Amino acid sequence: NTKRTIYSPNFYLCFIAAVYLVVFHLSFFMFVWSYWKTIFTSPASPTKEFCLSKADKEQYEKEERPESQQEILRRANGGEKHKIKYCDRCQLIKPDRCHHCSACDICVLKMDHHCPWVNNCVGFSNYKFFLLFLMYSLLYCLFVAATVLQYFIKFWTNELPDTHAKFHVLFLFFVAAMFFISILSLFSYHCWLVGKNRSTIETFRAPTFRNGPDKNGFSLGCSKNLREVFGDEKKYWLIPIFTSLGDGCNFPTRLVIMDPEQLTVSSQNEPAKSSGASQPFPARPLSESQNRLLTTDCQWVESGPEEENVKSGMRNR
């Protein structure tokens, strides 16, 4: 009797229904949770340390020449020689990858875009939540479309009973399928951005470094790029809690091998640095980052005999 009960059609249908209920409510809960976090997480903005002092601010506003204004900004930013970006609206020095959002009227750290669907800026503080929102909404629509598919087929083959429910089945399948296709394209695009360590803004306007614009300047490899957004603890990757690495102001940059002609000039003008006859000293970037991404593994690439004096690495402003 026990075996007959286990393998009976009614038991099988009840088991399938229980599985469907668990998957449906789990995906729906994670979808709502990540959507809530994306909407109600305030965009991260630069702290007060990026604001000019009262004297520098007055001097900056009095100056009309861009060159003089840049000198004031460089002096306030520690004497750096590259161009400093300043937001006249927020009246602060913009860190790397920071942009002013005209809709929110604030500067947003690592701004990706302003999303009207969540009525919020997607940036450093909620980019992980936005990705999870896309993923769980994608799974939710896929689950709904897959479970309704058999009834949709019966509708077209006239096997479905002639009731008002068949129009509900038709509507539900088309809505789920259309949302699935549209979200799939958006989610795939942002997965590609995460793999390249780019924002939507940087895709259309490459960030500028000391050696010029470079769209891949922040890319550290797919694995480290993924960890920069989702964190080091993989058990928290699929949960909408903040685990992104860094402070949103400083970002590690990739190491770029210089031109061979510059290598020749550099090797003639500077003495070779090495820790031993057979162990060349690794190339060191011009600007180090405090991000843990470059402290867990070897920070510098090993250089060959002709490249041991290469100084690579860039800092965006």
Report the C-alpha gap between 237 and 219 in whole angstroms. 20
Half-sphere CA count of 10, side-chain side, radius 13 A: 3
Q: Which two tokens stand for residue 241?
A: 């809690």
Q: Which residues contact 87 (CB under 8 A, 6 or more apart)?
A: 93, 94, 100, 107
Report the C-alpha gap between 267 and 269 in whole angstroms. 6
Please, are residues 229 and 131 in contact by the beta-carbon 8 Å criterion? Answer: yes
Of the candidates 187, 43, 47, 181, the residue with the CA atom closest to the CA atom of residue 114: 43
Report the C-alpha gap between 237 and 231 in whole angstroms. 7
Please confirm, yes or no, whether 115 is among the known catalytic residues.
Answer: yes
Quickly list DSSP for 267-317: HHHS---BSSSSSBPPP--SS----GGGTSS--S----TTSTT--------
Please, are residues 46 and 95 in contact by the beta-carbon 8 Å criterion? Answer: yes
Report the C-alpha gap between 200 and 216 in whole angstroms. 13
One of 115, 121, 141, 298 is an active-site residue; which one?
Answer: 115
Please, are residues 214 and 314 in contact by the beta-carbon 8 Å criterion? Answer: yes
Report the C-alpha gap between 34 and 126 in whole angstroms. 10
Residues involved in catalysis = 115
